[in-house]
Structure formats: structure tokens, C-alpha cells
Amino acid sequence: DTEVTQTPKHLVMGMTNKKSLKCEQHMGHRAMYWYKQKAKKPPELMFVYSYEKLSINESVPSRFSPECPNSSLLNLHLHALQPEDSALYLCASSPGGGYGYTFGSGTRLTVV
């Protein structure tokens, strides 16, 4: 299995809702990532997990809460989001060492 799987593909949520994005990989990669991508912009790094521990938080607001339950799974918990948080959320994984990044197909999030 050489894929990163993200669910759901599309999500619409209200500003008072709580929802979660899920990401799964079975390549044995030790590093997993969340990126946010607005239309016509490049992906922006949000979080990096290494060996199931949060190693990088790029000053992301606390309404985004990442979780890594095990080496294959990465979640992003969402609470009290704003309309400007609407974007494509991409998950990625890599073996580490600066190579071999694999991206999921993303979750298109709309906050209403």
C-alpha cells in the first residue's frame, strides 16, 4: 500500500460544530503532516508528527487540534472554526530524512 487515505473528501460544518478529519497510511512512515491550502495558493504547513509525537506546530490557532493515535493514523479535530478556515486540508507522510513525501487527496472543508 503506497497511499495516504483521507476522509471525508468533503465536509461542510457550522461555526459551532465539532468535526474531525482523518488520515491513514500503511507505508511505515514515521512522519505525518497536516497542510492547509487556500485556492490558488501553495500548501501551508500546519503540524508535523514524528514517531507519533507532535514535533512542529506552525503557530496554528487552537481551534485546530491534531492527534496521532498510532503510527498509521493522524486526526485533525476542528472546533469553533471561522469561514476563513474553509480550505483544502492535505495530509502527507514521509519516512523522514527529507524525502519520500506522499500526499493524500485532501478534505475540502467549507465552514458556514
Partner 1 sequence: GQNIDQPTEMTATEGAIVQINCTYQTSGFNGLFWYQQHAGEAPTFLSYNVLDGLEEKGRFSSFLSRSKGYSYLLLKELQMKDSASYLCAVPPRNTDKLIFGTGTRLQVFP
Instruction: Check binding of 71 to partner 1 (CB under 8 A).
Output: no
Instruction: Check binding of 33 to partner 1 (CB under 8 A).
Output: yes
d(CA 49, CA 53): 5
Among 5, 7, 55, 110, binds partner 1 (CB under 8 A): 55
Residue that is written with C-alpha cell 474553509 in the block:
86
Instruction: Check binding of 53 to partner 1 (CB under 8 A).
Output: no
Cα distances from 32 to residues 16, 25, 73, 80, 84, in angstroms, run 28, 9, 9, 24, 24
Among 5, 56, 82, 110, binds partner 1 (CB under 8 A): 56
Window of 11-19, 59-67, 76-84, 92-100 that interacts with partner 1 by CB under 8 A:
92-100
Instruction: Check binding of 47 to partner 1 (CB under 8 A).
Output: no
Instruction: Check binding of 41 to partner 1 (CB under 8 A).
Output: yes
3 state DSSP class of 93 = strand
21: Cβ contacts below 8 Å, ≥ 6 apart? 6, 7, 8, 11, 75, 76, 78, 89, 91, 107, 109
List of residues contacting partner 1 (CB under 8 A): 31, 33, 40-45, 48, 50, 55-56, 88, 90, 92, 94, 96, 98-99, 101-106, 108
